[in-house]
Amino acid sequence: MKSILIIGMGKFGYHLCRKLAELGNQILVVDEDEEALEEVLPIVTSAKIGDCTNEEVLRSLGVANFDLCFVCIGTNFQSSLEITSLIKEMGARYVISKANRDIHAKFLLKNGADEVIYPDRDIAEKLAVRHSANHVFDYIELTDDYSIYEIPPLTEWLGKSIRDVNFRVKYQVSILGTKKGEEVKLLPSADHVFAADEHLMVIGRGEDMDKILKHL
């Protein structure tokens, strides 16, 4: 369990708050709009109405006492930048700020953000990957280069083992696990035989994964 401050109760802040509360964290939410706070009142530890561009409001929150501080203001970049900078100066341990553009992310990282998130971009990219290639069941971007894909085995692999296919050498990607229904097996051995009714969790660079995806 962590103590978490969330500044900004827009759509992203709201959904973030609900999931963090579901996971058992202690949460303080702040927004200048009272109505935006009403829906989360039953699930948060505390809620406060206030304009966080006001330094006095921020000081009253005791930002240094939280394990994580989320700045979820996406519509007003100037406010997001000011709040990010101020809470870091006030001793915030770890600041995660929401950005909509790369140039915004650069400024946020230079002015106090320890991490920047792009929820709109991330969702768009995930949907694009899933729906551009046939049978990509899930997609998680880890870095600019590496991602995890949930895919079915190629027809040519069926009945063969990972060793028979020479998977790592031939494709330059790795299988993290296999999934049949709700059953997940992590790090299958080289003797694992590919089956038509399973999914594979594969990690690799986009350029290497494309060589597999075009055959799905």
Which uninterrupted H or E stretch holds 211? helix 206-213
User: Is residue 133 predicted with pLDDT exceeding 70?
Assistant: no
Q: Please write the tens of the pLDDT for every residue from 40-92.
A: 999 999 999 999 999 999 999 999 999 999 999 867 899 999 999 999 999 99
User: Is residue 145 predicted with pLDDT exceeding 90?
Assistant: no
Contact, 113 vs 69, CB < 8 A? no
Q: Collect all residues with Cβ–Cβ distance below 8 Å to 123 and sequence separation of at least 6.
A: none
Residue 148 structure tokens: 């995890």
Q: Please list the helix, strand and coil fractions of the chain in percent, rounded to the nearest 5, in that order.
A: 40, 25, 35
Using CA atoms of 45, 49, 55, 56 in order, give the dihedral in degrees to the nearest 10: -90
**pTM of this structure:** 0.69
Q: What is the mean pLDDT of the chain?
A: 91
Residue whose entry in the numeric block shows the structure tokens 């950005």: 99
Question: Distance between CA 132 and CA 213 in Å, rounded?
Answer: 10
Question: Distance between CA 25 and CA 117 in Å, rounded?
Answer: 20
Q: Domains in the chain, start-ordered, CATH in brackets?
A: 3-117 (3.40.50.720), 122-213 (3.30.70.1450)
Number of Cβ atoms within 10 Å of the Cβ of 174? 14
CA atoms within 13 A on the CB side of 86: 20
Contact, 188 vs 175, CB < 8 A? yes
Residue 184 identity: V
Residue 37 structure tokens: 């706070």
User: Is residue 132 predicted with pLDDT exceeding 70?
Assistant: no
Of 133 and 188, the one with more pLDDT: 188
